[in-house]
């Protein structure tokens, strides 16, 4: 598994992801081996490989630096050993390569430890060592993140903060959003800074950017009501102070749009010398209590995940503390009449009704965890495939408190992007909001483009040898090549319409989101729903066994869903890259088995249609030449494998 995963992969790993622990280390140790173990949620194996790599005299200087950086992050994330993390990063920095990464990692570690001054200095060092526009933006965002968290902590604990530093951070964030409108983290941070600086117009711009609302349009769906309130309140909050009634409306609108921590921030913040905070207003007090509950649950759950990674978790103790926190909030909620007796089910229903919260405990593979987010969008969608259709509810979750154990473990490399339940599709919005900007930078930042082309050149050389040994193997050169082809094709499509500057970025992001949603959510999860409707669970008396969708193996379910993902994608090459072309091809997970089955089918199709594939070299293995297939040829290959397509013309 490569060190920096494709932006597509960030959104494609769904809840049905499994993992298989490897029993041994393949020598010599490599970063790819360590990353593969990490993505398979095997922390011990990943660390052993990285430590062996540091001892390997033949390992490159750059690989050793990257190994130190990865181990430093693990030292802090899993072992809470900040001294060991600092020492590793100091050794990495002293080697003189990839110094930006070392300082950026250190800044994040120090910020998480609430060492704000050290975090700020590390972010400034990262900025000093930045070698690309993307790195410069990342360092500025990291610094702004530290400044805002320090200000919010100061406001909550002492009622004061450094407005000068906050103003500088606000200016940096505004500059980033001017180039990349809609950037999720920059928008979020700018909204918080503007609220602390009493600058309504900037806060409104940041809020609209976060929600991806084009200029001249209004918020839609669940965001329409808070959007109208913010459109009315924020433009005037600069020239004059808001009245107490307006402050209360602002708190409610921020909470309605799922910015609970910022709502609590505004509620606690006096808006004039003689005005008291709004925390005495019952409805506002309820929001502040909920915000504190969310912070407690996040801290509690992350610690449970950390202990899970170390194999020291105590599920019973975790749930007991969860219940204590939930009962405390239950006692602070407002009810008409007598307060009902607390149960987890009633509590989850009230959180959904009052705050749009979605709470679900469960297993992801063998790991117990929590999905806790808030409804950002809630709509219906008709899924049509091969003459069949089903109506589904589509829910986009945002403001995630927890996105299951694997997302926390992967730490941004990958994440749970969504899941399906009967007649309902859930999408984790953050995983779809961030990916487009990573993709945008890869195809527009000159340094990042050069890096990808270098990886293509380095890895494509070995693809033929890999495919000769195993015709269905994961091919890193093809992987990088398809990624760049898809991104360049998308960029060219939005440039041809006369757009310039930030308009191109906005169009690229919107189209990227649309395309990836179509195949990875609607086509993939929609196929799961269709299969469940077309093959309901039943008992076959003749065979004396249960049959139907619920009895299928995960590999069978994923095989069919991935076929639909590719066949109904706006760009089937992109969908193949996301759904199938991964280093887990052929492993024991459902995704790996399904992916290998699809690769075999495509190779067989290419073999049977050699004369139809333009430019095909008969002396080379077939899979490395996948990018020669047209869109229709890719669709034809997957339809040939699909039992649902075989009876449909």
pLDDT tens digits along 70-100: 999 999 999 999 999 999 999 999 999 999 9
- Cβ atoms of 14 and 419 closer than 8 Å: yes
Phi, psi of 7 (to 5 degrees): -60, -30
- Looking at the predicted structure, is the pLDDT value of residue 356 above 80? yes
Cα-only R_g, the chain: 25
CA 485 remoteness from chain centre: 22
Q: What angle do CA 356, 361, 367 make, to 5 degrees?
A: 140
The whole-angstrom separation of Cα 39 and Cα 1 is 8
**Residues 516, 578 contacting (CB under 8 angstroms):** yes
Q: Per-residue pLDDT tens for 408-419?
A: 999 988 888 888
Beta bridge partners of 225: none
pLDDT at 264: 97
Domain boundaries, the chain: 162-364, 435-646
Structure confidence at residue 648 (pLDDT): 57
Task: State the chain's maximal CA–CA distance in angstroms.
Answer: 83
Question: Would you list the DSSP string of 556-623?
Answer: HHHHHHHHHHHHT-SSHHHHHHHHT-STTTTSSSHHHHHHHHHHHHHHHHHHHTGGGSTT--TTS-SG
Whether omega for the bond prior to residue 432 falls within 30 degrees of 0, making it cis, is no
Residue 328 CA: distances (Å) to CA of 76, 184, 229, 371: 31, 32, 31, 20
Where is pLDDT greater, at 37 or 341?
341
> What 3-state class would DSSP assign to 101?
helix
For 381, half-sphere exposure in the C-beta direction (CA atoms, 13 angstrom radius) is 24
Q: Which helix (H) or strand (E) element contains residue 389?
A: strand 388-403
Residues 6+ apart with CB under 8 A from 384: none
Q: What are phi and psi of 472, to 5 degrees?
A: -115, 20
Confidence of residue 5 (pLDDT cuts 50, 70, 90): very low
pLDDT higher than threshold 80 for residue 554: yes
Provide the pLDDT for residue 21: 38
Residue 591 — pLDDT band, cuts 50, 70, 90? Answer: confident
The DSSP symbol for 520 reads I
Average predicted confidence (pLDDT) for the chain: 92
How much is the pTM? 0.90
Are 616 and 625 a contacting pair, CB within 8 Å? yes
- Length, in residues, of the chain: 649
Give me the DSSP letters along 184-207: HHHHHHHHHHHHHTT-HHHHHHHH
**What pLDDT, on a 0 to 100 scale, did the predictor assign at position 646?**
80
Backbone angles phi, psi at 558, to 5 degrees: -70, -35
Q: What is the pLDDT of residue 275?
A: 66
The tens digit of pLDDT for each residue in 20-56 reads 334 444 468 999 899 988 988 999 999 999 999 999 9
Please answer whether residues 562 and 552 qualify as being in contact, where contact means their C-beta atoms are separated by less than 8 angstroms. no
Q: First and final CA of the chain: distance in angstroms?
A: 39
pLDDT value, residue 365:
77
pLDDT surpassing 50 at residue 262: yes
Whether the per-residue pLDDT at 150 is higher than 80: the answer is yes
* Helices 344-355 and 315-330, axial angle in degrees (round to 10): 50
Which has the higher per-residue pLDDT, 209 or 10?
209
At 272, the pLDDT band (50, 70, 90 cuts) reads low
Q: Residue 397 phi/psi, 5° resolution?
A: -100, 140
pLDDT the model gives residue 27: 62
Residue 527, pLDDT > 50, answer yes
Give me the pLDDT at residue 7, please: 38
* 36-45, 159-168, 248-257: least confidently modelled range: 36-45
* Predicted local confidence at residue 9, as pLDDT: 36
Query: Where is average pLDDT lowest: 14-23, 197-206, 600-609?
Result: 14-23
How far CA 319 is from CA of 315, 424, 443, in Å, comes to 6, 27, 45
601 alpha-carbon distance from chain centroid: 30
Q: What is the pLDDT of residue 83?
A: 98
CA-based nearest residue to 534, from 546, 550, 519, 518? 550
Q: What is the pLDDT of residues 614-634, one digit of tens each?
A: 999 999 999 999 999 999 999
- Strand extents, DSSP E, 404-472: 418-421, 424-428
Burial of 25 (0-12, 13-18, 19+ CB in 10 A): middle
Mean pLDDT of 433-459: 93
- Residues 491-505 as b/e (b if ≥16 CB within 10 A, e otherwise) read beebeeeeeeeeebb
The DSSP bridge pattern shows strands 388-403 and 418-421 to be: unpaired
% the chain with pLDDT above 70 = 94
Query: Given the DSSP bridges, would you call strands 388-403 and 367-385 parallel, antiparallel or unpaired?
Result: antiparallel
Assess whether pLDDT exceeds 90 at residue 366: no
Q: How many helices (H) and strands (E) does the chain have?
A: 29, 7
Ramachandran bin of 24, using left for φ above 0, alpha for ψ from -120 to 50, beta for the remaining angles:
beta
Residue 449: how many other CB atoms lie within 10 Å: 16
Task: Determine the pLDDT at residue 271.
Answer: 63
Distance of alpha carbon 446 from alpha carbon 454, whole angstroms: 12
At residue 167, the 3 state secondary structure works out as helix
138 vs 413, higher pLDDT = 138
What are the respective helix, strand and coil percentages of the chain, to the nearest 5? 65, 10, 25
pLDDT at residue 13 is higher than 50:
no
């Amino acid at each position: 598994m490569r060190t920096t995963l494709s932006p597509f992969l960030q959104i494609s790993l769904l809840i049905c992801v499994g993992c298989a622990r490897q029993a041994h280390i393949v020598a010599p140790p490599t970063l790819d081996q360590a990353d593969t173990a990490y993505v398979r949620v095997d922390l011990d194996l990943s660390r052993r490989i990285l430590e062996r790599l540091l001892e390997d005299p033949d390992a490159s200087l750059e690989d050793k630096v990257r190994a130190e950086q990865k181990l430093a992050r693990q030292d802090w994330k899993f072992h809470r050993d900040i001294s060991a993390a600092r020492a590793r990063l100091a050794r990495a920095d002293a080697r003189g390569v990839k110094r930006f990464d070392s300082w950026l990692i250190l800044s994040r570690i120090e910020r998480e430890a609430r060492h704000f001054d050290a975090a700020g200095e590390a972010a400034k060092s990262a900025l000093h060592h930045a070698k690309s526009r993307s790195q410069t933006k990342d360092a500025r965002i990291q610094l702004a993140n530290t400044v805002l968290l320090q200000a919010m902590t100061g406001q909550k604990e002492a009622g004061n903060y450094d407005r000068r530093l906050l103003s500088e951070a606000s200016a940096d964030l505004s500059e980033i959003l001017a180039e990349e409108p809609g950037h999720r983290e920059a928008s979020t941070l700018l909204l918080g800074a503007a609220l602390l600086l009493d600058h309504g117009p900037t806060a409104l711009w940041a809020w609209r950017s976060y929600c991806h609302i084009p200029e001249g349009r209004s918020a839609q769906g669940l965001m329409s009501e808070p959007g109208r309130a913010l459109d009315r309140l924020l433009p005037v909050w600069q020239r004059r102070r808001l009245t107490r009634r307006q402050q209360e409306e602002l708190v409610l609108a921020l909470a309605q749009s799922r910015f609970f921590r910022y709502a609590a921030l505004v509620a606690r913040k006096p808006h004039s010398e003689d005005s008291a905070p709004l925390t005495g207003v019952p409805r506002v007090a309820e929001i502040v209590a909920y915000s504190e509950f969310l912070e407690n649950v996040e801290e509690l759950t992350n610690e449970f995940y950390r202990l899970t990674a170390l194999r020291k978790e105590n599920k019973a103790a975790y749930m007991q503390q969860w219940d204590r926190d939930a009962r405390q909030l239950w006692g602070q909620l407002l009810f008409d009449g007598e307060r009902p007796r607390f149960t987890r089910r009633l509590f989850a229903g009230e959180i959904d009704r009052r705050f749009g919260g979605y709470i679900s405990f469960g297993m992801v593979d063998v790991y117990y965890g929590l999905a806790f987010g808030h409804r950002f969008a809630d709509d219906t969608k008709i899924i049509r495939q091969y003459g069949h259709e089903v109506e589904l509810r589509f829910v986009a979750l945002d403001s995630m408190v927890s996105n299951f154990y694997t997302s926390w473990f992967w730490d941004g490399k990958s994440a749970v992007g969504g899941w399906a339940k009967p007649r309902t599709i859930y999408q984790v919005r953050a995983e779809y909001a961030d990916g487009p900007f990573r993709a945008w930078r890869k195809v527009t930042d000159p340094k990042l483009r050069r890096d990808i082309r270098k990886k293509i050149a380095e890895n494509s050389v070995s693809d033929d040898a890999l495919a000769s040994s195993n015709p269905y193997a994961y091919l890193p050169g093809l992987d990088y090549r398809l990624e760049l082809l898809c991104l360049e094709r998308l960029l060219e499509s939005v440039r041809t319409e006369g757009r310039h500057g930030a308009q191109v970025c906005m169009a690229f992001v919107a189209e990227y989101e649309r395309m990836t949603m179509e195949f990875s959510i609607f086509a993939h999860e929609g196929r799961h729903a269709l299969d469940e409707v077309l093959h309901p669970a039943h008992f076959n008396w003749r065979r004396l066994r249960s049959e139907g969708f619920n009895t299928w193996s995960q590999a069978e379910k994923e095989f069919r869903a991935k076929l639909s993902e590719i066949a109904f994608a706006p760009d089937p090459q992109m969908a193949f890259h996301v759904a199938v072309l991964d280093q887990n091809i052929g492993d024991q997970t459902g995704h790996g088995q399904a992916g290998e089955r699809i690769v075999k089918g495509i190779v067989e199709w290419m073999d049977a249609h050699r004369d139809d594939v333009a430019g095909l070299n008969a002396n080379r293995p077939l899979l490395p030449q996948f990018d020669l297939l047209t869109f229709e040829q890719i669709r034809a290959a997957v339809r040939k494998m699909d039992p649902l397509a075989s009876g449909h013309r």
